[in-house]
Amino acid sequence: MYRMKKLINVLVIEDCVADADYNVNLLQRAGYVVTSRRVETEDEMTSALETETWDLILSDYSMPQFTVHAALELYHAFGLKIPFIVLSGAIGEEKAVQLIKAGVHDYLLKDNMTRFISVVERELKEADILLKLDSLSSALEASELKYQNYLENAPDVVFVADETGRFITINKAGCELTGYSKQELFDMSVLDLILNGSIEWKQKRFYELLQSGSLNTDFELRHKDGSNRWFAVNVTQLSDNQFLCFAKDITVRKNAVLEVMKAREEMQNLNKYLMDARENERATVAMEIHDELGQSLTAIKIDLNWVLKNIADSEKSGQKISRIIEMTNDTIKKVQRISSELRPGLLDDLGLATAIEWYSDEFEQRTGVKCNLTLEDVPEGDERTNLALFRILQEALTNVIRHAGASSVCVMLRQVPGGICMVIEDDGIGISLKKITSGKSLGLIGMRERARQINGTLEFVKTSAGGTKIVTFIPFQPMNPTPDENSRCR
Ligand SMILES: Nc1ncnc2c1ncn2[C@@H]1O[C@H](COP(=O)(O)OP(=O)(O)OP(=O)(O)O)[C@@H](O)[C@H]1O
Ligand SMILES: [Mg+2]
């Protein structure tokens, strides 16, 4: 039979040189190209194993200075897997079984070597296969480790959950982005973390997933610290009861979108509010002029008619004319008040502080609510700033009398680094956070918008006594405004 010449390096553990040569010779005759070394002590075998790589070990059973068992111990100590074949005189079945148990691949009698070559061939082939399997499985292990490493350190959340939503595995990002430890998560269900929607909504999504095998949606989750986070979630079914899920933290993007939507809604509400307010203002002016001016002027007309008829009686006429003058004065005051409410001339002529003083005085007299003023000498702002602060004051004081149930209010105006600050503080019942953030409190939005339009800020704060404090900050406006910026506004 044609056999490809195969190179093998054989370690022969044998005290009898002739036996060793004979065995090597058998291998060569079978077509192997053999290199070999004979050893007969533990030291010699150790040095052989340390210095060379071997394909096959042939060993005698017992030698004057060495035994096969001692040789086997060394073989294992070096972690070898090459074929180890024992060739010896008769040793009895019990010892032969012991040898096989100790890891010997086969056992042959020296005086019956007919199976020798076929045993060597079989064992070399098996060793070769084992070697290949070994390298395959360590390659597989390495690649599995690599993927586990990727998933564990991925920036996004990766987890596997069962059909009830319980976590089976989850990576590091899952812990970081939810705030829970792996152990805590393993005791929870994905559903425990999801915020948006009712229980039915969550179950419906889950049912959809079970039906279609995949799900792609945004979820709002509750972080352990109580804050909410948005995740774009992508789920794929792995088996009947396992789901693989990738989740990306999109909180920043989502909040930006929600903020833009909220701002847009506020702007729309404000627009509508401003239009309504203008109409209401016109109606109020019309009514005031009708009721106040109309009645006064009618009375003047009646009295003037009387004067016309009784002009002969000079004493009576004198009294009447005095009354007419009184009423006319009254009317003039009313006209002044109405027009000042609409557009306080004081603001343009004498500045913000004087206008605040006048308005607060009016407010105190009209409502009986004490108004304490602290007006520091602030640099005079431009027309837009003065008007914005004055309108904010008007709305704030109107709210105080309509909603606060306050007995006093403090108004403070002062210069702070970079701008002017106006604080209006009442000792009433306070505004709820819900009203402040609802987007429907158009008076409050209007105040904030007035400040925002001139690059300022306005905040509603609850005082320690429970009342409301409105803090407005307006940065100094650039000098020499353009004619357009300086145009009158209201
Ligand atoms: N100083 C305050 N103290 C207590 N509650 C207040 C105060 N100011 C406002 N509020 C509350 O905030 C709500 C919203 O105020 P906002 O000025 O926006 O509306 P409004 O005064 O009710 O109506 P309007 O649009 O005519 O101003 C009020 O309805 C009131 O409940
Ligand atoms: Mg209001």
Candidates 260, 427, 49; CA nearest to 57 is: 49
Please tell me the distance from the alpha carbon of residue 246 to that of residue 442, in angstroms, as a whole number.
42
Return the pLDDT at 310.
81
> Topology of 6-145 in CATH?
Rossmann fold (3.40.50)
Q: Which residues of the chain have pLDDT under 70?
A: 1-5, 196-197, 275, 279, 282, 339, 342-343, 345, 477-490
Ligand that comes closest to the CA of residue 401: 1
For residue 444, give the ligand 1 atom closest to its CA: 18
Return the pLDDT at 4.
57
Lining ligand 1 with CB less than 6 A are 399-400, 402-404, 426, 428-431, 435, 441-444, 468
Return the pLDDT at 487.
35
> Topology of 344-490 in CATH?
Heat Shock Protein 90 (3.30.565)
For residue range 378-429, list pLDDT tens digits in order.
Answer: 887 788 888 889 989 999 999 999 999 999 999 999 999 999 999 999 999 9
Please tell me the distance from the alpha carbon of residue 71 to that of residue 46, in angstroms, as a whole number.
9
Query: Two tokens at 67?
Result: 């035994």
Return the pLDDT at 484.
41
Return the pLDDT at 338.
74
Q: Note the Cα 437 to chain centre separation in Å.
A: 22
Look up the pTM and report it: 0.49
Neighbours of ion ligand 2 (CB under 5 A): 399, 443
Assigned superfamily of 153-249: PAS domain (3.30.450.20)
Return the pLDDT at 275.
66
Ligand that comes closest to the CA of residue 440: 1
3-class SS at 407? Answer: coil
